[in-house]
A and B are shown apart, each in its own frame.
Chain A
Amino acid sequence: MGLFILRRLGVMILTALCLTFIVFTMTNLYPNMEKLAKTQGNFRMSDAEVASWLGQNGFLEPLPVKYGQWLGVWPGWTLEVEDGMRGRCVNGTVTPQVMADAPTFCGILQGDWGTSTVFRDDVGNIIATRLGLTGKLMFWVMVLMVPSALLLGVLAGMREGSRTDRTLSTFAITTTATPEYVSGVILIAVFASSAVGLRWFNGTATGAMDNATFSNFFLPVLTISLYGMGYIARMTRASMAEVMTAQYIRTARLKGVKFSDIVMKHALRNALIAPFTVIMLQIPWLLNGVVIVETLFNYKGFGWTLVQAAGNNDIELLLGVSVVSVIVVLVTQLISDIGYVYLNPRISVS
C-alpha cells in the first residue's frame, strides 16, 4: 500500500510538472509576450521597443530557463542597466547593494508567485482569497449535492423497474443533460426575474461573497449541484440495483427481514463503495461548473479569477490558477484511488 501511494505520488508530481510546463509554454509564446509588453508599456510601441522592454524584464531568456526560474530551481535573472541593476527577485531598478541582499532563487517553491497585472496584487494573495470564496461555494454544493444524490440513487435502485425508479432516473438524466449555463439561466428566469415575478432569490451572488444568505446564495449552489447530482445518482442507482439482486439480500428477504431494514442495514453499505469514487472524481468536473456559475452569477471566486486572468492575458495569475487547479484535480484522483482500494478489499494493488 505504501509503495502504491509513493508511485502514485511520483506520477502525480511528473504530471503536474508536465502540465505546468505546457501552460507556461503556451502563455509565454511570443504573441502573448508582445501583448503583455504593449499593455504594460504603451500600445504604440514599435517592435524594437517591445523587444527591449521584454529584454529588460527578463522575458527573452530561453524557455526552460524561464520555467526553472518561475519554479524556483534556477537562479533568478539579473541584468545591469544604466542606473543600477534589475532582476527577477527585486522590484524595478535597484542599486547593486540591494541586489546583493536579494535572494537568488524566487519561484513558486519559495512562495513567490509573482504579481498579477490586472489586479495589481500578489498572485499568492489573490489565489488564497478567491480560493476561500470558492471553498465556501463548494462546501455548500457538497452539502446539498451528495445527500440528495445518494438519496435519489438509493430510492431509485432499491426497486429496479418500478415507477419511482423510472421517474427518478428520468430526473437524473435530465439534470446530467443540463449544463450549468442552461440550468442557471432557467433558474434565474423562473426564480429571480421580474418578468415571471416570483423574485424569491437574487439573480447575482455578488453579495454572498461577504454575507451569504439563503436568498443570494441558493441559486448558484443549486445550479452547480444539479449537474453533478444526476451522475452520482445514476451511479448509486446502478450499484444499489446490483446489490439488491445479490444472494445475501434474497436470504434476508426469505428470512422475513423488513424491507426498510434490508435497505438500511444490508444493502446500503455495499452499495455506497462505487459512488464514493464517483463523488471524488466529480470534483474536477465541478471546477468547470464553478467557472461557469461564478461568471453567470458574478461571484468573484476562483473560477471568476480564471476567466479574468485568461481573458486579460495576466500570465503570472493564469499560471498560479492552473497550478492550483491541476493540483486539485490530481489530489482528488489520488484520494479516490486510495479510497477505492481501502473501501473495497477485493481490489489488490500490488
Chain B
Amino acid sequence: MDPIGWGEITTRILIQFTPVWIALVVTFALSLTFKRRLGLYGKLFDSTVGMIGFALVMFWVFTGLFGGGFGWIVTHDTLSQISGLKNKLPGTPVPDAEANGLYPYYLMGGDNLARDVFSRMIVGAWEVMKIAPFATIFAFMVGITLGLPAGYFGGRLDTFLSFLANLILAFPVILLFYLLVTPEIVQTGIPVYMAGVLFLFPIIFLSILFQSRFFTQPAKRNLYLSVTLVVGLWIYLGIAWNADPLGIIGFPPNLLVVFVAVVFVNSPTVFRIVRGLTMDIKTRDYVAAAQTRGEGPWYIMLWEILPNARGPLIVDFCLRIGYTTILLGTLGFFGLGLSPGSPDWGSTINEGRKLLSIYLHPAVPPAVALLSLVLGLNLLADGLREESLRD
C-alpha cells in the first residue's frame, strides 16, 4: 500500500474523532437551549471567547474520556511497536495490517520506538485528565482551609502561615520537583508522609463545613459528618497510605508522588488568593451582621465569606488546572515521576525533541495538544471573569 496524502489523513483523523464531535454538539445544543436556567455556566454562552475556550476544553475532556477511558478513538496500542515504522512520516501504512486486524495507517506517523504518535497523543489527554483536576481540587481544599482562618483571624496565625507559604513560593519549582520526585527521596517515604498530611485537608474541610452549619440540628449533622468521615477516611487510607481495609482503592506509588508534588506547589498560591479575598470580604456589612447574630467564626468563614468569594476562585480554578497541566508536562519533560513509556504529553515531547531537526511529527502533536488545552482553559477563565464581573 502507498502512504496516504494530507487530505486523506485529515479526513481519517476527523472520522476517528466522531464520538467527540457528537458529544460536543450535544453539550452545546443542550447548554444553548437551557442557558437562561443554568446560572453562571449558562452566562458563559453569551461570550464568544468563553464559548471557544469551553469548546477547546470539552474537546480534550471528551477525547481523554472516550480515548483513554473507553478506548474508542485510538487506532493502535500506545506501547506496541511495529517493526519498520520507526520515525515514519504521517500516513504511512502499517504492514500486514489486515492480517493482524490493525488499523491500516499510522495517522500521525511513528515515533523513535515505532509506536503510533496519534494514539499516544489521545491517551496523553487521559493522563492529564486523571491528575490535573483532582490535584487542583486538593490544592484548593488545602488553600481554602488554611487561607480562611489566616485572613479572618490575622495575627500570629496569619504571620506563621504566610511565612510558610512564601517559603514554598520562593523555591524554584523545578528544584522542588527534583528534590521530591527522585527515587532516593521516594525510598525514604517523605512523599507518602506529605500525602498523609495534604490529603487530610479535604476531610477536615468538609467536616468543619457541616459541623459549623448543622450543629444546631444534631440528627442532620450526625448523618452528614458520619458519611464524610467514613467515606473520607476510607478513601484517605487507600490513597495516601495504600492501606484500604477493603482493598478496593489503591493508587500507583509513582502517580502519588507526582500528585503530591503538584498539590504542594499549587496550594500556597491558592492560600494567598483566599487569604486576600477573606481580608477584603470580612469588612463587609453582612459579615458584621452575622457576627452580631452570634454566629461562630467558622460558620462565617465557610458559609458567609467563602460563597461570596466564589467568582475569583472559579476563575482561578480554571487557570490553575491549566497551570497544573503545564507542571505535569514539565515533570514529563524532565523524565521525573511518571513511568517510562508513559504516553503523557511532557514525556512524549521530551522523547520527540531529540530528533527534532529531522523528524517533526513525534514532538509537534503533543505540543499542539497541550497548547490548545491550556489555551482553552485560559480563554474559559477569561470568559468566566468577564461574565461574572457583569452582574
Q: Is A271 an interface residue (CB 8 A)?
A: no
Q: Which of B178, B352, B359 contacts A310 (CB 8 A)?
A: B178
Are B166 and A15 closer than 8 Å at their CB atoms?
Answer: yes
User: Could you mark each residue 293-330 of chain A with 1 if its beta carbon is under 8 Å from any beta carbon of chain B, else 0?
Assistant: 00110000001001100110100000001100110011
**Docked CA distance A185–B353 (Å):** 7
Contact between chains at A321 and B175 (CB < 8 Å): yes
Residues of B within 8 A of A52 (CB): none
Q: Which residue of A lies closest to B49 (CB)?
A: A170
The residue of chain B having its C-beta at the shortest distance from the C-beta of A327 within the complex is: B170
Distance from B336 Cβ to chain A, minimum over Cβ atoms (Å): 9
Whether B170 and A181, one on each chain, are in contact in the complex, defined by CB atoms closer than 8 angstroms, is no
Judge whether A310 and B182 touch: CB under 8 Å: yes
Is B20 positioned at the interface, with any CB of A under 8 Å from its CB?
A: no
A11 to B166, CA, bound (A): 10
A193-B357, A310-B182 given; A182·B175 CB < 8 A:
no
Which parts of B346-391 form the interface with A (CB within 8 Å)?
346, 349-350, 352-353, 356-360, 363-364, 367-368, 370-371, 374-375, 377-379, 382
Stretch at the interface among B1-9, B125-133, B183-191, B198-206: B183-191
The reply to whether B357 and A185 form a contact with Cβ atoms under 8 Å apart is: no
Which residues of chain A are within 8 angstroms of B350 by Cβ–Cβ distance? Answer: 181
Closest to A178 in B: B371
Chain B 182-230 interface residues, beta-carbon cutoff 8 Å to A: 182, 184-185, 187-188, 190
**Any A CB within 8 A of the CB of B279:** no
Q: Complex formed: what's the CA distance from A185 to B366 in Å?
A: 10
Q: How far is the CB of A180 from chain B (nearest CB, A)?
A: 9
Contact B172 A325 (CB under 8 A): yes
Cβ of A194 < 8 Å from any Cβ of B? yes
Interface residues of B, count at CB 8 A: 46
Beta-carbon contact of B185 and A194 below 8 Å: no
* List of A residues within 8 angstroms of B353 by Cβ: 181, 185, 188, 296
Q: Does B153 contact A (CB under 8 A)?
A: no
Answer yes or no: B268 CB below 8 A from chain A CBs: no
Residue of B nearest to A11 (CB): B163
Q: Which of B113-121, B249-257, B304-312, B325-333 contacts A (4 or more CB under 8 A)?
A: B325-333
Bound form: Cα–Cα A26–B179 in Å:
7
Does the CB pair A31–B167 fall under 8 Å? no
Q: Are B170 and A31 in contact (CB under 8 A)?
A: no
**Which residues from chain A contact B175 at a C-beta distance below 8 Å?**
23, 306, 310, 321-322, 325
- Given A193-B360, A196-B360, A291-B174, the answer on whether A177 and B367 have CB atoms closer than 8 Å is no
Residues 319-346 of A at the B interface (beta carbon under 8 Å): 321-322, 325-326, 329-330, 333
Take A193-B358, A306-B175 as given contacts and tell me if A177 and B374 are in contact as well, using a CB distance cutoff of 8 Å.
yes
Task: Using known A-B contacts A321-B175, A326-B171, determine if residue A29 contacts B188 with beta carbons closer than 8 Å.
Answer: yes
A321-B176 Cα distance, complex, nearest whole Å:
12
Instruction: Give the CA-CA distance A26 to B182 in the complex, in Å.
Output: 11
Which residues of chain A are near B167, meaning CB under 8 Å? 15, 18-19
- The interface residues of chain B lying within 8 Å CB-to-CB of A193 are 356-358, 360
Say yes or no for A232: interface residue by CB 8 A criterion.
no
Against B, the Cβ 8 Å flags (1 = close, 0 = not) of A266-304 are: 000000000000000000100110011001100000010
Chain A residue nearest to B179 in the complex (CB):
A26
Whether B322 is near chain A, meaning CB under 8 Å from some CB there, is: yes
Q: Which of B178, B333, B349 contacts A311, CB < 8 Å?
A: B178
A177 touches B330 (CB 8 A): no
Contact check, A30 vs B329: say whether CB atoms are below 8 A apart: no
Contact A329 B360 (CB under 8 A): no
Q: Secondary structure of the B side of the interface?
A: helix
A161 to chain B, nearest CB (A): 11
A182, B360: Cβ atoms under 8 Å?
A: no
Q: Is the CB of B356 within 8 A of A188?
A: yes
B170 touches A32 (CB 8 A): no
Tell me the bound Cα distance from A310 to B190 in angstroms.
Answer: 17
- Is the C-beta of B173 less than 8 angstroms from some C-beta in chain A? yes
Our pick among B182, B356, B375 for the contact of A173 (Cβ within 8 Å) is: B375
Q: Are the C-beta atoms of B179 and A310 separated by less than 8 Å?
A: yes
Interface residues in A138-178 by Cβ distance below 8 A to B read: 170, 173-174, 176-178
Residues of A within 8 A of B374 (CB): 177-179
Pairwise interchain contact B382-A185, C-beta atoms closer than 8 A: no
A203 touches B333 (CB 8 A): no
What separation, in Å, do the CA atoms of A192 and B355 have in the docked complex?
A: 12
Does B134 sit within 8 A of A, measured CB to CB?
A: no
Residue B334, interface by CB 8 Å: yes
Say yes or no for A133: interface residue by CB 8 A criterion. no
Q: Counting CB contacts under 8 A, is A189 at the interface? A: yes
A26-B179, A333-B170 known; A32-B375 Cβ under 8 A: no
- List B contacts of A311 (CB < 8 A): 178
Contact partner of A203 (CB less than 8 A), chosen from B190, B349, B356, B375, is B356
Asked if A1 is an interface residue, CB under 8 A from chain B, the answer is no
A195 within 8 A of B: yes
Most buried by B among A179, A186, A321: A179
- Interface centre among A173, A296, A307, A329, by most B CB within 10 Å? A173
Q: How far does the alpha carbon of A174 sit from the alpha carbon of B49 in the complex, in Å?
A: 12
Instruction: Closest B residue to A227 by CB, please name it.
Output: B326
List the 7 closest pairs (A to B, CB-CB), nearest first. A310-B178, A31-B184, A177-B375, A177-B374, A182-B367, A179-B326, A26-B179
**29 A/B residue pairs, CB under 8 Å, sorted by A:** A15-B167, A26-B190, A27-B179, A29-B184, A29-B188, A31-B187, A35-B184, A179-B374, A182-B329, A185-B352, A189-B363, A192-B356, A192-B357, A195-B357, A195-B358, A203-B356, A203-B357, A287-B172, A291-B174, A292-B330, A292-B333, A295-B334, A296-B353, A303-B174, A306-B172, A310-B182, A311-B178, A321-B175, A330-B170
Known: A179-B330, A288-B172. 18 other contacts (CB 8 A): A15-B167, A15-B170, A29-B184, A29-B188, A31-B184, A31-B185, A178-B374, A179-B370, A181-B349, A182-B370, A185-B353, A188-B356, A193-B357, A195-B357, A203-B357, A284-B172, A295-B333, A296-B353
Which residues of A are at the interface with B, using a C-beta cutoff of 8 A? 11, 15, 18-19, 23, 26-27, 29-32, 35, 170, 173-174, 176-179, 181-182, 185-186, 188-189, 192-196, 203, 284, 287-288, 291-292, 295-296, 303, 306-307, 310-311, 313, 321-322, 325-326, 329-330, 333
Q: Which residues of B contact A (CB under 8 A)?
A: 49, 163, 166-167, 170-175, 178-179, 182, 184-185, 187-188, 190, 322, 326, 329-330, 333-334, 346, 349-350, 352-353, 356-360, 363-364, 367-368, 370-371, 374-375, 377-379, 382
